[in-house]
Amino acid sequence: MASSIANIDETLLRTYIHGCHIMHHHQVVDAYGHLSIRISPTIFLMCRYMAPALVSSRDDLVLYSVDTGEALDSNAPRGFSERYIHSEVYKAYPGVQAVIHSHSLDVVPFSLVPSRPLKACIHMAGFLGTAVPVWDATASYYQQHPDAERSMLVNNTEMGASLATALSTADCYGLPQHAVALMRGHGYVCTGESIEMVVAKAIYTAHNARVQTTVNCLVGASSTTSSNTPDILYFDEREATDTGRTTIQGAAKPWPLWVAEVTKDSLYTMDL
């Protein structure tokens, strides 16, 4: 079991750093947001408190306990306050191998209108299903903790565990029923079985949100000139299930392209 960054395979570290860069390149994250990868049943890896685009070396990486969300090394550099999103998702779903937290502005609006849930409408995002759940920090945590600072940050294990429940029950493979959950007025958490898979899901979640917003605008425009508001042809449950099971497995196809994009961009550096 790896207990220090020095003991972790360089190929995995390079994939992790590429993942951080790709998320930024595709506007899944800006200076904020983070990617993690499970190293073992009890340990996960994240970068230190820094913009994902600037992650470049082992010195930028920290190992954390799944149980506590705390760094294994007491002298580790400062980490993200919302690392408990990751630790509690790993704790609840043993099949999850990678987690992303994003503040994508394409996605956040869908956390604010309960009657307009984010749902699969493009084939690359069938994993979203027929309605993505929304976790509300106030309803789920602050009402039970009225003295807590309402920063909307998931900065302790109890909040992280509450958020993890929004992904619903684990299946026989230890994976959540929902791959994605939105966070009201904040962002979303995305889960996957590998770095490549979770990055693809995070990207296509944002793409789906963009398409859905455009479609909603089209429907709104047409309803001003016609008494008949057209239906939006979202995916039904079977379509979402089948595309979610098959299409996203093609995450291996865009990955080399995404790596090439960030490798050729001088903003992103790799010092391994």
Paired sense of beta strands 98-102 and 134-135, if any: unpaired
Q: Which residues carry out catalysis?
A: 82
Separation of alpha carbons 129 and 190, rounded Å:
13
Of 205, 186, 202, nearest to 194 by C-alpha is 202
**Helix (H) or strand (E) segment spanning residue 36:** strand 34-40
Ramachandran category for residue 187: left, alpha or beta (phi over 0 → left; psi -120 to 50 → alpha): left
In angstroms, how far is CA 205 from the centroid of its own chain?
Answer: 9
Each residue of 204-236: b (16+ CB within 10 Å) or e? bbbebbeebbeeeeeeeeeeeeeeeeeeeebbe
Mapping DSSP onto H, E and C, the string for 37-73 reads EEEECCEEEEECCCCHHHCCCHHHEEEEECCCCCECC
